[in-house]
Amino acid sequence: MLNFTVGPVHSTESVRAIGAQDVPYFRTPEFSEVMLENERLMKKFAKAADDARALFITGSGSASMEASVMNVFTKDDHLLVINGGSFGHRFVEICQIHDIPYTEIVPAFGKGVTSEDLAPFDGDSRYTGLLVNVDETSMGILYDLDLLSAFCQKNDLIFVVDAISSFLCDPIHMADAHIDVLLTGSQKALACPPGVSIMVLSKRAVDRIYAHEVKSLYFNLQSALDNGARGQTPFTPAVGILLQIHQRLLDIEKAGGVEAEIERVAHQAEDFRSKIKGLPFEVVSGSLPNAVTPLMPTTIKATDLFQILKDEYHIWVCPNGGEYAEKIFRVGHIGNLTPADNDTLIAAFNDLKKRGLI
Ligand SMILES: *Cc1c(COP(=O)(O)O)cnc(C)c1O
């Protein structure tokens, strides 16, 4: 199968080779070294300040979304949540479950957040934090990080950025943007199996975590930070995936670092977007991220197109859930894909056109 979803995605040969081996015992100085290097490289690629910390949570991206909100905020906070799709909605659900007061900001369909969207909340000292999925992957919208960052600085808000599908795809400078919590996951552009999510935390976020006692055993980040300082985790982590992440981070470093990787993904996206002209699809986002292109087919249901590509062409594109399931599908540009793979997908689209199916 050729995989154009947004995760899990194709891994490189060096990452897959680790998956074929036995998983080693991990309470050892050798594994601690790997973890400390993972933390160092994550901080480097996120462009975090020296006093930032990185935590590796065994669980998918949503685990880090929930753990960060639970540990960094309390009932005394009031959060602004950018809700432009299913991942924004997930932050809303997390606030509801943990009784953290919040107000939603819902951008217009297919649009990013504007300064007009933020204006009603500007200068209101009730608000203490802002949560955003910088690439709202469900709709393929990249929000304006500079705008949000300036707003958070002006209003002294704790800035939580779910960059789960944006890390390694779009430029992010954690320290310059004054981001307090930056999240990513193993199965997106890190192109490893699912099962680990990563949080990079500013000093301010770490201080907040230590300032209150969270009611959770597994998601107690005080304990994760204490253990992480010596390259360990409170419980058995997904050891094999952490070794794969290590390999992947080293490979990126060797191939020119985070800038070169972002450039590679951006080129993969541009190449695809230049080749779909003339096909009966509408690009539905006014602010495209590099990780994914959301498309509305004008002549076929998106769900039918997904099915035919899967069963007859052995290609996975990414279907949408919820209210846009039949209208929108997405093509991912992350993982070990090349422009030649784009050509294979475009050839399938052209064949469908010839058959009169699109
Ligand atoms: C993939 C993704 C997540 C996490 O989803 P999981 O299925 O829990 O890994 C969260 N936010 C965004 C923006 C994502 O793209």
**Domains of the chain, first to last:** 12-254 (3.40.640.10), 258-354 (3.90.1150.10)
271 CB within 6 A, ligand 1? no
Residue in 87, 138, 141 to alter for ligand 1 test, most ligand atoms within 8 A of Cβ: 87
Return phi, psi of residue 151, to 5°.
-65, -45
Among 29, 18, 24, 56, which residue's Cα sits nearest to residue 235? 56
Q: Closest Cα to atom 4, ligand 1: which residue?
A: 61
Q: Which residues contact 351 (CB under 8 A, 6 or more apart)?
A: 313
| Residue-level pLDDT at 98 | 98
pLDDT per residue as tens digits for the range 64-80: 999 999 999 999 999 99
| Residue-level pLDDT at 169 | 98
DSSP tag of 201: E
Q: Is residue 313 predicted with pLDDT exceeding 90? A: yes
Mean pLDDT for 320-328 is 93
**Ligand 1 centroid – CA 305 distance (Å):** 23
**E strand or H helix at 319:** strand 318-319
**Ligand 1 centroid – CA 188 distance (Å):** 8
Number of Cβ within 10 Å of residue 220's Cβ equals: 18
| The overall pTM is greater than 0.95 | yes
C-alpha 152: how far from chain center? 20
| Residue-level pLDDT at 71 | 98
DSSP tag of 156: T
| Residue-level pLDDT at 70 | 98
Percent of the chain with pLDDT over 70: 100
**Ligand 1 centroid – CA 162 distance (Å):** 8
Ligand 1 atom having least distance to the Cα of 7: 1
**Ligand 1 centroid – CA 87 distance (Å):** 7
Q: Is residue 261 predicted with pLDDT exceeding 90? A: yes
Mean pLDDT for 165-186 is 98
Ligand 1 atom having least distance to the Cα of 136: 13
Supply the DSSP string of 118-136, one letter for each residue: HGGGTT-TT--EEEEESEE
Is 297 strand, coil or helix?
Answer: strand
**Ligand 1 centroid – CA 230 distance (Å):** 28
Q: Is residue 352 predicted with pLDDT exceeding 90? A: yes
pLDDT per residue as tens digits for the range 38-50: 999 999 999 999 9
pLDDT per residue as tens digits for the range 113-123: 999 999 999 99
162 CB within 6 A, ligand 1? yes
Q: Is residue 276 predicted with pLDDT exceeding 90? A: yes
Give the range among 109-113, 140-144, 238-242 with minimum mean pLDDT.
Answer: 109-113
CB of 64 within 8 A of CB of 197?
yes
Ligand 1 atom having least distance to the Cα of 62: 8
7 CB within 6 A, ligand 1? yes
| Residue-level pLDDT at 322 | 87
Q: How far, in Å, CA of 255 to CA of 238, rounded?
A: 26
Report the mean per-residue pLDDT for the chain: 97
Q: Is residue 183 predicted with pLDDT exceeding 90? A: yes
